[in-house]
Amino acid sequence: MKEANLKNYLKTGALCFGLSLLMWNCRYQDDSIEEEPVREKKIQVISFQDFEDRVAGHESYTSLNRYFYKDQSSDNDLGLSKTPENNIILTDNIIKIAKEDGASYTFRLLKTGEGNEFYN
């Protein structure tokens, strides 16, 4: 009888010890979760003059410069200069997205060729 009681006490003690370890580990596990800092993006609409002032010397700008829609008083109906591929980069709404490591710019594109083509 004493052996049976001893076995029951050992089983109950082991169960209580295991549950206390489980509860203790779960309590401290929540403290180790760290939240990742949220990076803020600053989005603003800038003028073409501001854009030129920021990136005028960059080689990508010089290669794309002929596609920018700058001349409002041209002969054709939209005021667009003719380019070899008939692609125009509109400069009325330039969106600047400032990040921690730099900035990116978004332009609207106009395809002056056939209207049935889609670009992504």
Please list the pLDDT of the chain residue by residue as tens digits (120 residues). Answer: 678 888 888 999 999 888 888 777 765 555 555 676 766 668 899 888 888 888 877 887 877 777 777 654 443 444 444 555 567 788 888 889 888 778 888 888 877 766 655 454
- Answer yes or no: do 10 and 56 share one domain: no
> Which pLDDT score, from 0 to 100, does residue 14 have?
92
Q: Domain check: are 55 and 75 in the same one?
A: yes
What is the extent of the structural domain holding 13? 2-32
Residue 91 and residue 48 share a domain: yes
Same domain, 26 and 74: no
Contact 8, 66 (CB under 8 A): no
Q: Is the residue at 67 inside a domain?
A: yes
Say how many C-beta atoms besides its own lie within 10 A of residue 116's C-beta: 5
Distances (CA, A) of 55 to 41, 73, 94, 96, 115: 20, 25, 13, 12, 31
- Could you give the number of structural domains in the chain? 2
- The answer to whether residue 117 sits within a structural domain is no
- In this structure, is residue 116 part of a structural domain? no
Phi, psi of 118 (to 5 degrees): -125, 135
What local confidence, expressed as pLDDT, does residue 113 receive?
A: 66
Task: Indicate if 66 and 16 belong to the same structural domain.
Answer: no
Q: Is the pTM of this model over 0.85?
A: no
Q: Are residues 64 and 22 in the same domain?
A: no
Q: Which residue, among 50, 49, 110, has the nearest Cα to 80 in the 3D structure?
A: 110
Q: From CA 111, how far away is CA 89, in angstroms rounded?
A: 9
Assess if residue 37 is contained within a domain. no
